[in-house]
């Protein structure tokens, strides 16, 4: 759908609240316990969806880039939480875990996470909403958020030991963001006293609230992105069933910002609010070591920090929670090695699905079954995209009714897989583990007993959306993707967007 007329500009400011990894079912529990009164009120006064579908892989960097640009990974260029960058012959890691960061190099991880994802990895041809809005004269503000790219230069703000250390390691660089950027201890355009305590999990929401309060008191922004990341870490450690605790915490931190504006009613007289989670969480009961699995199968796997000797190894492997990218290193051998990889992995215990491209067509295998698909005319999915599909529909739990095609278990499966496989940084093969399992990362780290995400499955992918005081014309929209948040934001300010 593309809107041709420019929508009317909503006179209110807009506050976009992102709660990392918030599971809709857990939000409902928190609300039922009376522990999330602000989210409850926003929901009551607006409209919401518990099936706002994440991208694939359903991982924060990929999802964040989609929220901010409105595009899938094929266009925005962020393939995963960690991936192999062919032109630099190295593993990129946005900080999947501390043990993994130690293997990749902590400084390199910090540079990837803070700077390179914004300045190098995110495609220059997909503008962020900060860029689109600032260009249209809308003043934007952002608290610590993985993707903040915008037109304004911000100097490194680090002080004390962290600042000195940053100077030595090359971390003290400029960032380019919206007019106001309050990012951890790194950028602070308002010169606040907010301390991020080095971004320790559990202390991040309070920093975001501190930054949000300062922004409300300064009163200059028209669009503010307020990001609450603690829920994701809490759920990773304690499991998705405990999320009502961290959701309650996010709700109370949002309340601090609301109170700075004079309470809920005053805040809502001035603001429209969108709340979104970037993905959901599933419970991890066991692990799968895909690197070990491939090594046992006699594949020569590239180890982290061995980039310059990449030609020695056959494949690179980037295990990221519930999705893994696998790269054939020598393009000359791709055609020969990819089928061998597929045959080796498809019957391995614990592997659920394999995804790859062959002759311009996407393939999905599950055990001995497989299907292939590509854009075409045979079927139309719930979001209006048309596809040709051949093979065993069970592989993606696809159901056909006339020309309509849909999947219950793997929502928006065809478009999400297609986009993932067309991201230039994706592996030649993407693998997902069965529900309940997680790939251990390069640091040997996993979340057994806790939560994880990344797969195409609904349990990892169905996120929460709440829209209050804006986007009235879209309240009957049948399906939602987290990428739709971009157009909701732009339309609020009277900017039409290609949906
Ligand atoms: Zn996570």
Q: How far is the CA of 452 from the centre of ligand 1 (A)?
A: 6
Q: How far is the CA of 147 from the centre of ligand 1 (A)?
A: 15
Q: How far is the CA of 235 from the centre of ligand 1 (A)?
A: 8
Q: How far is the CA of 366 from the centre of ligand 1 (A)?
A: 25
Residues 6+ apart with CB under 8 A from 332: none
Q: How far is the CA of 146 from the centre of ligand 1 (A)?
A: 13
**Tell me, what's the pLDDT at 103?**
84
Q: How far is the CA of 232 from the centre of ligand 1 (A)?
A: 5
Q: How far is the CA of 394 from the centre of ligand 1 (A)?
A: 28
Q: How far is the CA of 59 from the centre of ligand 1 (A)?
A: 7
Would you give the end-to-end CA distance of the chain in angstroms? Answer: 5
Q: Which residues pair with 419 in a beta bridge?
A: none
**Tell me, what's the pLDDT at 394?**
97
Describe the crossing of helices 243-260 and 24-32 by its angle, rounded to 10 degrees: 70
Neighbours of 263 (CB within 10 A): 11
Q: How far is the CA of 360 from the centre of ligand 1 (A)?
A: 32
User: What pLDDT tens digit does each residue of the chain (499 aa) get?
Assistant: 444 567 899 999 999 999 999 999 999 999 999 999 999 999 999 999 999 999 999 999 999 999 999 999 999 999 999 999 999 999 999 988 888 888 888 888 889 998 999 999 999 999 999 999 999 999 999 999 999 999 999 998 876 666 666 776 777 888 999 999 999 888 999 999 998 776 777 889 999 999 999 999 999 999 999 999 999 999 999 999 999 999 999 999 999 999 999 999 999 999 999 999 999 999 999 999 999 999 999 999 999 875 555 557 999 999 999 999 999 998 888 999 999 999 999 999 999 999 999 999 999 999 999 999 999 999 999 999 999 999 999 999 999 999 999 999 999 999 999 999 999 999 999 999 999 999 999 999 999 999 999 999 999 999 999 999 999 999 999 999 999 999 999 999 999 886 6
Q: How far is the CA of 196 from the centre of ligand 1 (A)?
A: 19
Q: How far is the CA of 79 from the centre of ligand 1 (A)?
A: 15
Q: How far is the CA of 21 from the centre of ligand 1 (A)?
A: 6
How far is Cα 12 from Cα 63, in angstroms, rounded to an integer?
A: 26
Per DSSP bridges, beta strands 361-366 and 351-358 are antiparallel
**Tell me, what's the pLDDT at 1?**
46
Q: How far is the CA of 135 from the centre of ligand 1 (A)?
A: 32
Q: How far is the CA of 17 from the centre of ligand 1 (A)?
A: 17
How far is Cα 94 from Cα 101, in angstroms, rounded to an integer?
A: 8
How far is Cα 243 from Cα 6, in angstroms, rounded to an integer?
A: 39
Q: How far is the CA of 336 from the centre of ligand 1 (A)?
A: 35
């Amino acid at each position: 759908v593309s809107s041709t007329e420019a929508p009317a500009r909503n006179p209110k400011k807009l506050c976009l609240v992102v709660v990392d990894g918030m599971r809709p079912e857990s939000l409902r529990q928190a609300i039922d316990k009376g522990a999330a009164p602000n989210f409850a009120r926003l929901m009551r006064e607006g409209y919401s969806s518990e099936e706002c579908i994440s991208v694939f892989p359903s991982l924060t960097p990929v999802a964040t880039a989609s929220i901010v640009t409105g595009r899938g990974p094929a266009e925005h260029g962020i393939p995963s939480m960690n991936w192999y960058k062919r032109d630099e012959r190295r593993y990129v890691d946005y900080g999947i875990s501390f043990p993994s960061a130690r293997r990749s190099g902590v400084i390199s991880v910090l540079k990837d996470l803070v700077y390179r994802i914004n300045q190098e990895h995110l495609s220059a041809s997909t503008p962020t909403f900060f860029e689109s809005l600032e260009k249209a004269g809308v003043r934007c503000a952002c608290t610590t958020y993985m993707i903040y790219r915008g037109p304004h230069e911000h100097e490194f703000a680090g002080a004390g030991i962290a600042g000195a250390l940053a100077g030595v390691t090359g971390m003290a660089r400029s960032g380019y963001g919206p007019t106001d950027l309050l990012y951890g201890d790194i950028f602070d355009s308002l010169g606040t006293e907010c301390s991020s305590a080095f971004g320790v999990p559990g202390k991040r929401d309070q920093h975001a609230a501190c930054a949000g309060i300062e922004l409300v008191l300064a009163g200059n922004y028209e669009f503010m992105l307020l990001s609450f990341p603690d829920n994701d870490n809490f759920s990773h450690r304690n499991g998705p069933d405990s999320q009502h605790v961290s959701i309650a915490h996010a709700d109370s931190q949002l309340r601090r910002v609301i109170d700075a504006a004079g309470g809920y009613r005053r805040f809502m007289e001035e603001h429209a609010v969108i709340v979104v989670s970037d993905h959901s969480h599933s419970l991890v009961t066991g692990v799968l070591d895909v690197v070990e699995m491939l090594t046992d199968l006699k594949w020569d796997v590239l180890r982290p920090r061995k980039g310059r000797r990449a030609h020695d190894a056959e494949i690179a492997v980037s295990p990221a929670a519930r999705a893994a990218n696998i790269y054939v290193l020598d393009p000359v051998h791709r055609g020969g090695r990819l089928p061998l990889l597929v045959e080796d992995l498809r019957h391995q215990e614990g592997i659920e699905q394999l995804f790859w491209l062959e002759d311009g067509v996407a393939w999905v295998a599950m055990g001995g079954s497989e299907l292939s698909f590509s854009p075409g005319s045979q079927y139309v999915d719930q979001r209006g995209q048309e596809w040709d599909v051949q093979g065993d529909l069970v592989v993606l739990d696809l159901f056909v009714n006339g020309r309509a095609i849909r999947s219950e278990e793997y929502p928006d499966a065809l478009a999400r897989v297609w986009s993932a496989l067309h991201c230039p940084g994706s592996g030649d093969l993407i693998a997902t583990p069965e529900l309940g399992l997680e790939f251990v990362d390069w640091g040997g780290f996993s979340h057994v007993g806790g939560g994880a995400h990344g797969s195409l499955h609904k349990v990892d992918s169905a996120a929460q959306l709440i829209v209050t005081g804006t986007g009235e014309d879209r309240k009957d929209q049948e399906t939602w993707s987290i990428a739709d948040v971009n157009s909701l934001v732009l339309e609020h300010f009277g900017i039409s967007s290609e949906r």
